[in-house]
Amino acid sequence: MKKIFISGALLMGSLVMLAGGTVTNTNMSAAYLRNPAREGAIDIDGIYYNPAGTAFLPNGIHASVGMQTAIQERNTKVTFEPFALNAAHYGNSTVKYKGKAFAPVIPLARLAYNWDRWNIQASFNVVGGGGKCKFQDGIGLLERVLAAKAYQLQGGLQQFGLPQKVAYSLYSDIVGESYQFGVYVGTSYEIIKDHLAVSLGLQTVYAMNSYEGGLSSMKMLMGNPGEDISTYIPAYNYLMAMSQQVQDPTTQAVLQATAESVKEIPDVLLDCTQKGFGATPVIGIDYRLNEKLNISARWQFQTYLKMKTKASNSPAAKQGEVAAQLKNAQDGESFRSDIPGYLMTGIQYAPIKPLRLAVSYRYFDEKHAERENISGLKNNKDNPGTHEVCFGLEWDIFKYLTFSCGYQGGIYQLRDKEMSDLDFQVNSNSILMGFRVNINDHWNIDLGYMHSFYDTRKVTTQVPITETASLPYLVDFSRKNDVVGIAVNMCY
């Protein structure tokens, strides 16, 4: 006799962390938001984009303080047959989930001092993360666990010749917060006066991730064929009533055992924080042919970053198979979340004095950075890396106002298994524009705006339903992103 069984300790599935994935945040200044091709510029934000080029700044103190505000959506449209059993959208197997991220204040600060051929420099940036992402209606990756159990239950009843309909209900939400605070200190030196400079610095990173939420108020529901879903009652009550109507002792025992297993499904909730610290050298070179043409390159080495978890999760989230699925969310666990090494190069050319044209290229070496997600899955070493290309234009309309605009294209070559409902990257195209207001010879203000257009990436995986059967789980991944920024710059 075949058995029906619904586990009381539902698995969370492959819940994947919001941070610790691909780190390609390069919007590190308000000036970037008006012209993203910053590597060829000689400016205070060169402490990040062109550290060697800061040697060519005028002698004296240079400083910049600013902030950015980012609004982002991480959207998934999921098609999975068991989702049709959700009482909230019964009969519909395609569901849209939306994660909203809002970072009201992403601060930045830079300071440099130049004398003769030397420069010393320091900066503070949020080099990764920078805000909170809330999935108010949960995510498909979590819901599919309960949905699969309901699907199993319905299939088991049909095998017994009992055509009763099954549904489920739940409350699901999860909030992830991620910050990588970066402090950089370094120096640059003009090897050939006014033409060639090099730089050496140290980038330190303090990283923190936190996760709250999961699955709660999970219920199995049942009703008679043809009845409206609103009339369905708890599966426990229904199965116990059915067990009294059958004569076969074995069937009766299975129905009663199944009823007990779905009587009370424990919440699977996360409450964990992960922290880590890393440091890595940064080197740079800048060649300034003349006032019209400047070329630079910057290499930041891979950052070894080890995270440690402190957690007070619900009992159902830290036992047996559930704990295995949520390995790096368990108290006391340690795991790698390296920041890849990356190369940034750029050229700026001024065909006429008030006009500057710029192009930049960036490569992120994802292949050699070791990272694990929350379930312990390591990144794909076949990943050839991430590429960014930027174009920019600046035009000094008159002495007190500069207009800028630009384009940024990002190519992410993640494999299917690196894509998750919680953490994913898709190819993007961004337009940027803004102004620099020159108050006087010592003070100016940068104002910028960026809007990103994202491709949609389709990924299909197979989700086991029984020991011998699985169902396709199709996800369309997409994003939305808007950033505004302001910075006040001064030199004396």
pLDDT tens digits for range 56-88:
999 999 999 999 999 988 889 999 999 999 999
Helix (H, G, I), strand (E, B) or coil at 375: coil
Quick one: average pLDDT of 368-396?
85
Residue 123 makes CB contacts below 8 A (sequence gap 6+) with 47, 48, 108, 109, 110, 111, 182, 183, 184
Residue 31 makes CB contacts below 8 A (sequence gap 6+) with 38, 41, 43, 45, 404, 436, 446, 448, 487
Is the pLDDT at 361 greater than 50? The verdict is: yes
Helices (H) and strands (E) in the chain, counts: 5, 18
Rounded to whole angstroms, how far apart are CA atoms 44 and 31?
A: 10
Contact of 166 with 259, CB cutoff 8 Å? no
Quick one: average pLDDT of 441-463?
93
- Helices 249-263 and 235-243 pack at an angle, to 10 degrees, of 160
The domains located in the chain, with CATH, are 46-491 (2.40.160.60)
Quick one: average pLDDT of 156-176?
85
**Mean pLDDT: which of 246-260, 331-345, 371-385 is highest?**
331-345
The secondary structure of 334-366 as a DSSP string is EEEBPBPPEEEEEEEEEEETTEEEEEEEEEE-G
Chain-centroid distance, C-alpha 22: 8
Is the pLDDT at 3 greater than 60? The verdict is: no
Quick one: average pLDDT of 387-393?
96
423-440 tens-digit pLDDT = 778 889 999 999 999 999
What is residue 395's predicted lDDT score, i.e. its pLDDT? Answer: 97
DSSP state of 296: E
Quick one: average pLDDT of 448-477?
90
Quick one: average pLDDT of 170-177?
89
Identify the band that residue 490 occupies on the pLDDT scale cut at 50, 70 and 90. Answer: very high
90-139 tens-digit pLDDT = 999 999 998 888 888 999 999 999 999 999 999 999 998 777 888 888 88
Angle at alpha carbon of residue 439, lines to 437 and 443, rounded to 5°? 100
Is the pLDDT at 16 greater than 80? The verdict is: no
Structure tokens that stand for 252 in this block: 């009766």
Quick one: average pLDDT of 233-257?
88
Phi-psi category of residue 376: left, alpha or beta, with phi > 0 → left and psi -120 to 50 → alpha = left
What is residue 7's predicted lDDT score, i.e. its pLDDT? Answer: 43
Q: Which of 103, 121, 111, 105 has the alpha carbon at shortest distance from 63?
A: 111
Contact of 121 with 112, CB cutoff 8 Å? yes
DSSP state of 238: H
What is residue 218's predicted lDDT score, i.e. its pLDDT? Answer: 93
Phi-psi category of residue 53: left, alpha or beta, with phi > 0 → left and psi -120 to 50 → alpha = alpha
DSSP state of 146: H
| pLDDT > 90 fraction of the chain, expressed in percent and rounded | 60
What is residue 254's predicted lDDT score, i.e. its pLDDT? Answer: 87
What is residue 420's predicted lDDT score, i.e. its pLDDT? Answer: 74
Rounded to whole angstroms, how far apart are CA atoms 385 and 413?
A: 6
What is residue 115's predicted lDDT score, i.e. its pLDDT? Answer: 96
Is the pLDDT at 2 greater than 60? The verdict is: no
Residue 279's H or E segment, with its range, is: strand 268-288
- Of 36-40, 265-269, 308-312, 355-359, which range is least confident? 265-269
Greater confidence, 37 or 268? 37
What is residue 217's predicted lDDT score, i.e. its pLDDT? Answer: 93
What is residue 422's predicted lDDT score, i.e. its pLDDT? Answer: 66
Is the pLDDT at 20 greater than 60? The verdict is: no
Query: What average pLDDT does the structure give for the chain?
Result: 89
What is residue 11's predicted lDDT score, i.e. its pLDDT? Answer: 39
What is residue 249's predicted lDDT score, i.e. its pLDDT? Answer: 87
Greater confidence, 485 or 73? 485
258-284 tens-digit pLDDT = 899 888 899 989 899 999 999 999 999
Residue 256 makes CB contacts below 8 A (sequence gap 6+) with 239, 240, 243
Alpha helices by DSSP H, 126-227: 140-159
What is residue 208's predicted lDDT score, i.e. its pLDDT? Answer: 94
What is the phi/psi pair of residue 140, to 5°? -60, -35
Quick one: average pLDDT of 239-265?
88
What is residue 19's predicted lDDT score, i.e. its pLDDT? Answer: 35
What is residue 385's predicted lDDT score, i.e. its pLDDT? Answer: 84
What is residue 366's predicted lDDT score, i.e. its pLDDT? Answer: 85
